[in-house]
Amino acid sequence: MSYVIDIGTRLLLWAVGKFRRPKFGKFLKLEDIKYKIFQAAKRKEETFPDLVVSYISAAFLIPSSIIEKFSWEVTFSLFLLGVTKSVPNADLPLLKPSKKKDEKAEWDYEGRMKYLNVHIISSAYGWTIEYVNKLDIDTALALIQEILTDEQLDREFLWSMSENSYIYNPKTKSGKANPLERPYFMMTQVKDPKVEKIPAGMLPAGVDYSSIPEAFRPRVKHEETNTENQTKTTGL
């Protein structure tokens, strides 16, 4: 058993230095398997270990029969290495999580997202599937965002020419614009409110703030502290 673990450890060390960042086509394939892994873990399905082995096999081109002989520590380390190497580097709004729940279409099928993303690029530029699959991950994702943005702006222009773009209220004899809804990556990102301490002089006296978190305790102005020091010095 120790011999098998030693081989797995050697393979892990080799993979750390030799594993190359996948191209777009392989990235989509790995993302599809990774999604299944996360769903299996969330639902506590028995297919979780098999999916992890499947991911490693696709990422490193190692037969599943060999990976199954490794210890779980080595196997999961290889999985994490593959995931780390496949993470996009570009800071694109398209990659930010959406709060809107994705609803599967009735015509959805296994692995559709892979073909859909390749189709978006190939149909826009006339490139072959083989060429699209060889694109850099960040380049392909940036192109997809630009294509989707152009399509959305075209839809908004046509929408602005229709009656649906304006809502008229006959009672008030007034109206308001009814803009077409934009996808999440084109919407303004809502930032968390900044935490501000309230000056001590604006709060009631005699309040014990010891039980309040430090971030929400009132701040003491420098001028208040200086005034107290001057009073002690002059004796007034």
* pLDDT tens, position by position, 178-188: 889 998 889 87
Q: What would the pLDDT profile of 78-116 be if each residue is shown by its tens digit?
A: 899 889 889 999 999 998 887 777 677 888 888 899 999
Axis crossing angle, helix 72-85 with helix 2-18, rounded to the nearest 10: 10
Tens-digit pLDDT profile for residues 122-162: 999 999 999 999 999 999 999 999 999 999 999 999 999 99
With a cut of 90, say whether residue 66 has pLDDT above it. Answer: no
Kindly report the pTM of this predicted structure: 0.70
Residue 220 is predicted with a pLDDT of 59
Is the model more confident about 195 or about 106? 106
d(CA 50, CA 44): 13
Domain limits of the chain? 1-87, 107-190, 200-231
Buried b (16+ CB within 10 A) or exposed e, 36-63: bbeebeeeeeeebeebbbbbbbbbbebe
Work out the pLDDT band at 215, boundaries 50, 70, 90: low
Task: Indicate whether 233 pLDDT > 60.
Answer: no
pLDDT band at 234 (very low <50, low <70, confident <90, very high): very low
- In the structure, what pLDDT confidence band is assigned to residue 218 with cuts at 50, 70 and 90? low
pLDDT of 74 above 90: no
Residue 236 pLDDT greater than 50, yes or no:
no
